[in-house]
Amino acid sequence: MPETTVLSASDPRNIESAAQVLREGGLVAFPTETVYGLGADATNATAVAGIFEAKGRPRLDPLIVHVADPREAARFGSFRAQPAGLLMERFWPGPLTLVVPRLGAIAPIVTAGLETVALRCPAHPVARALIRAAGNPIAAPSANRFGSVSPTEAEHVREQLGGRVDVILDGGPCGVGLESTIVALTDPPRVLRAGGIAVEDIEAVLGPLERALSAGDRPLAPGQRAGHYATYTPLDIAGDGEVPAPGERVGLLAFVPPEQAERFAAVEILSRRGDVREAAANLFSALHRLDRLGLDRIVARPVPETGLGEAIMDRLRRCAAGSRQLC
């Protein structure tokens, strides 16, 4: 298996080198404000097939297409629905993905054969520079093995996909730390995944939204499967009364500084000041650190489900379900 090249995203020459890899049909992991993405040219079906192979991802699971600016998105999706303009003006560039009728040259493998496409304009300057340099939109799920904890640092990508991708662009830690919120512009619009923009903020623009967060037999968007974002260490969500049994090595994932911390083998605190945005940014990195320790299990304390807390709890519930499947 060939080695993966890691390049600093601070050098514009490295961004151009990574773009050349994409133009030649290769795979590039790159930073966004949400998590690191595993990218391929969205118009090249063979290249996109490499994403599914590298991740071990089912081909019925559609991918998000990343564009450099909102105007480019109109080449690949139909934004006639009135909410589209409101949401693009308010939240793009940013951690919001819009699912709309598919147009243009996007390879059918990207959309898993659906007549819709998921489009996002990322806010991260490296991601946008890479898309522009590549000359085509980039199809990119999170840069991790399918169903595992998402990567928010280049090292997370190397640990899971080293040797499976051509280049990792290291742009440092991701600022948001949760995948994008996904909204389908159906009639009425529906939230398909809670994420880096609080659903309440979107509802402040559009009014109350339906939620369709479960996949059923066929996902309409990424991250809808029950067992997702999973640690290899079993994870349970439990309140303050849950403490380790004698001789048990348990890690604690706490929203704020916990009581009885000394009873745990390792403790990760998401936000010492109780800030859900800070907690969201720290979530996946904390899970990665706990998962490396060879613990018997991880206990996660609940987070208030307001703002980004809804997305954090969505990830923890899916992580708990997925970690049990891996046991």
Could you give the C-alpha distances from 114 to 70, 99, 102, in angstroms and in order? 22, 11, 8
- pLDDT grade, residue 223 (50/70/90)? low
Average of per-residue pLDDT across 130-159: 97
- The CATH homologous superfamily for domain 5-211 is DHBP synthase (3.90.870.10)
Average of per-residue pLDDT across 203-223: 79
Average of per-residue pLDDT across 3-11: 96
- Asked if 6 and 151 touch (Cβ cutoff 8 Å), the reply is no
| Token pair listed for 251 | 């890690």
Q: Domain boundaries in the chain?
A: 5-211, 235-326
> What is the pLDDT, as a whole number, of residue 316?
96
Q: Percent of the chain having pLDDT more than 70?
A: 94
Q: For 32-56, how does the pLDDT look when each residue is reduced to its tens digit (9 = 90+)?
A: 999 999 999 999 999 999 999 999 9
pLDDT at 230 exceeding the cut of 60: yes
pLDDT at 284 exceeding the cut of 60: yes
Topology, domain 235-326: Rossmann fold (3.40.50)
Could you give the C-alpha distances from 209 to 76, 99, 212, in angstroms and in order? 25, 14, 10
Identify the helix (H) or strand (E) that includes residue 313: helix 309-326
- Asked if 291 and 149 touch (Cβ cutoff 8 Å), the reply is yes
User: Could you give the residue ranges of the DSSP H alpha helices within 230-301?
Assistant: 276-291
Nearest to 284 by CA among 117, 121, 106, 152: 152
